Structure 1
C-alpha cells in the first residue's frame, strides 16, 4: 500500500507561504557555503552528490536563489550539491533540458561518485525533469542513482488531473499557466507520452522516491497518480502531502520542515516495497540462485521475486488457495516451497514453470522447508518430517 504522509501546517504558516513564497531562497547565501562553479557544499558534507534541478517553468532561472536552495539541500543531505544549469525554453524546447540533466548525471559518475550515493532532487519543472531523467536512465540501462526527491512535479502534460479544477483558485499556480508552460516546453511534442510526461512511462526499477506536494496545489493529482503508479510497480515511494500549502511552498519557511524530512528519509535504512495487492500476505523469503529474493504470498497464492533495484515479478500458482508458506532454493537450481493449505510441496523454475508434489496427507499442513544433502526436507505440523529426493 502506498506510503502517504499528511504533513500538517499551522494557518499562519499557510498564509506566510502565500505572502512570501521565496523566503528561504531570497536570503543571502551563507558565508560558509563553498561554491565551485555550480557545486555548492555546506560545512561537514561527506561523499556522494545531490544533482539539483531547479524550477522555473522550464523557461526561467535565478542562479543565486538556486545556489541558496542547493546549499540547503547540501546541508540537509550531507552531500555536495550540483546545480544543473540546463538550457531553457522557448529557445531550447524539449528535449534539450532533459539532455542536460542526463549529461550532468554522466559527469557526476565520471568524477568517480558511486551511482548509489547520488540523489536527484528537483522542484516543479525540475521535478518533472528528474522523473523524466530517471525513466531514461532505467530505459537505457546502466547504473541507477540511490534515491530521488521530487517536489510538486508536472507528471501529465495532457493535463487530465482532477486537482487542476478542484484546486483552481486555491493555488498560486493555475491551469492557464500550465497551458502556457506546456506550449513553450513541448513545442509540439505529445503531452501524453513519456519521458516528457512521466506519468505515461514505465516506473519499474526506479530508485526510492520521496514525492512532496502541497495539498492546495493544482498539481496534487499529478503527484498522487505518479506515486500510485510507481508504488504499484514495486518502487519504494513515500508521498508527503503538506496541508494547506500551495505551489512552491518549499521556498518559504515550511520548506525547512521538508528539508529536515528529506535528510531523515535519506538517512533511514528502511525502504518499503509494495507487492501487487494489499492482501497478498508476503510471508517467507529466501535468496535465489539468480541473485534475487524470492518470497511467498500466502494470501494471494503466488510466489514473488524482487531484484536488488526493487523490481517485483509475481507467479500465480495454479491453485490460488494453496497458501504457500516457506520457500528455499533447491539443489537443482529451482525454488521449492510448501503449500500449507493443500498438503503439497511446490517447485518453481527460473523460467516460471510450476509443478507440485503431493504429500501423504492433504491435511498434513507442511510448514518449514530446507534443502540438505541433495534432498528437500519439509516439517509437517501433524508431527513428522517429509523428505523429497531431487533428481537434478
Structure 2
C-alpha cells in the first residue's frame, strides 16, 4: 500500500533551502564521530549498517560533506554508515558507479552483517544508484537489504516526467541540467531501460521503500511515478512530499526533518505488503516447510507465498472459481487448504504443483484445517469432520 505524506515546511524553511544549501552538512565532523576509512559511526551506533550513496549528478563528490551526511545518518538510524566513493562520470560512465555500489554491498555482507539489517540511503543521483542496485540485486538472486531510502531520485533518464515542465523555474535545477547529467552518465546506454532508469524495471519483490521529494522539484514526478509503480508491484512504499522544497532540500535545516522521518520510519515495526490486488482477499496464514509465509487469497483464487525480504509469489488454483480458505502445513511437507464453496481439500507443493481431493458431499463447505497424526483434518459446515490420510 502506498502511503503518501505531505510534509509542511516551517516558517521560512523552504526559502532557507535556497539561501543556505549545504547548511546541514557544512563544518567539521563532531569530535565524537568515529571515522574508519569511509565508515562513519555516531555514538550509540551498534549493529546493522547504512550504505550511503551520495548525489552530485554522477560526476561530483565532496567527501567531507558526504562524511557529515553519513554521520547524521548513523546518528539517526543507530547503525554505522558506509559512504560509497563510486567512480564518477564522464571518465567512468554507466555502469561503473552501479558496480561500485554493488561491490560496497557485497563488502558489507562479507563482514557478517545480515542483509535484513542493512539500509540503503541515497540522494539525487545517489538515490538513482540505490534503486538501480536494488533491481540488480533482485535480478541476480541475492538477498535484498531490509529497506531503502531514495531522496529526490532520477528514476527516468529519458526525462518524460511532467514536473520537468510544470516546476521549471521553481527548482534549483532544470531539464537542461538533467539532460547533460543523463548524457554524461549513460554515454550511449538506453535511457528507457533498467536498471539505469529504475522506473522501467520490474519492481516486484523490492524491500520497503521510503521515497522523499520536494514539491517544487523538477524531479517530483520521477519520485511520484516510481512510488506509484512500486506500490502497484506490491512493494511497501511511503512517499513523503516536502511542501515548496526544491532539489537538495536535504542539505539545509529542512533536512533535519527528513532525517527524523527516516529514523521513525525505520523504527516502525509495521510494513504493508500488497499482494495481487485490492480484491485478492488474503485470509489464512501458515509458515511453510521452506521457511516462507504462505497464505490464501479468497478473492483471487490463489495461494500466495512471501519471504522475509518481502518477495511475493502467487499460485493460481487450477479452478479459478475456487475460493481457498484455511491453510496449514501437512505432515508430508506440502501446503493443504480448504476450498470454500467447492467441497474440496487442496494440496500444493512448494514447487507449485496442485492436487485436489473431493470431500463426500460437494455442499459440505469445508472451513478450518489442521494436520494431526499423519492426516489432514478439516471442519465441515454439515456438522462433521473429514480426514485425508497423508503419505509421507
Aligned residue number for residue 199 of structure 1: 199
User: Any idea what the Cα deviations from partners look like across 1:236-256, whole Å, max 9, x if unmatched?
Assistant: 322222222221111112211
| Shift in alpha-carbon separation, 1:385–1:191, aligned structure 2, 3 A | same
| Shift in alpha-carbon separation, 1:380–1:31, aligned structure 2, 3 A | same
User: Any idea what the Cα deviations from partners look like across 1:155-205, whole Å, max 9, x if unmatched?
Assistant: 111112222223223322211111010011111111112221122223334
Q: Residues 167-186 of structure 1: matches in 2 within 5 Å? A: 167-186=167-186
The worse-fitting range, judged by mean Cα deviation, of 273-282 and 160-169 is: 160-169
Q: Residues 1-392 of structure 1: matches in 2 within 5 Å? A: 1-10=1-10, 12-391=12-391
Length, aligned pairs only: 392
Cα offset for 1:391?
A: 4.5
User: Any idea what the Cα deviations from partners look like across 1:286-315, whole Å, max 9, x if unmatched?
Assistant: 112232221011122221111222111112
TM-score (norm 1): 0.92
Measured in 2, the distance between the counterparts of 1:116 and 1:100 equals 20
Cα offset for 1:284?
A: 0.5
| Shift in alpha-carbon separation, 1:349–1:75, aligned structure 2, 3 A | same
Cα offset for 1:316?
A: 2.2
SS where residue 185 of structure 1 aligns? Answer: helix
SS where residue 73 of structure 1 aligns? Answer: helix
Asked whether the equivalents of residues 321 and 341 of structure 1 are also in contact (C-alpha less than 8 Å), the reply is: no
SS where residue 331 of structure 1 aligns? Answer: coil
The worse-fitting range, judged by mean Cα deviation, of 322-331 and 125-134 is: 322-331
User: Any idea what the Cα deviations from partners look like across 1:60-99, whole Å, max 9, x if unmatched?
Assistant: 1112211211111011011121222222122222122222
Asked whether the equivalents of residues 346 and 355 of structure 2 are also in contact (C-alpha less than 8 Å), the reply is: yes
Measured in 1, the distance between the counterparts of 2:23 and 2:299 equals 50
Cα offset for 1:9?
A: 2.6
Measured in 1, the distance between the counterparts of 2:65 and 2:73 equals 13
Asked whether the equivalents of residues 6 and 243 of structure 2 are also in contact (C-alpha less than 8 Å), the reply is: yes
Measured in 2, the distance between the counterparts of 1:326 and 1:285 equals 8
Asked whether the equivalents of residues 328 and 337 of structure 2 are also in contact (C-alpha less than 8 Å), the reply is: yes
Measured in 2, the distance between the counterparts of 1:48 and 1:313 equals 28
TM-score (norm 2): 0.92
Measured in 1, the distance between the counterparts of 2:70 and 2:169 equals 30
Unaligned residue ranges in structure 1 (runs of 5+) = none
Asked whether the equivalents of residues 146 and 309 of structure 2 are also in contact (C-alpha less than 8 Å), the reply is: no
Asked whether the equivalents of residues 116 and 309 of structure 2 are also in contact (C-alpha less than 8 Å), the reply is: no
Measured in 2, the distance between the counterparts of 1:107 and 1:334 equals 37
| Shift in alpha-carbon separation, 1:111–1:329, aligned structure 2, 3 A | closer
Cα offset for 1:110?
A: 3.3
Asked whether the equivalents of residues 147 and 208 of structure 1 are also in contact (C-alpha less than 8 Å), the reply is: yes
Cα offset for 1:141?
A: 3.4
Cα offset for 1:27?
A: 4.1
Cα offset for 1:11?
A: 5.4
Cα offset for 1:380?
A: 2.1
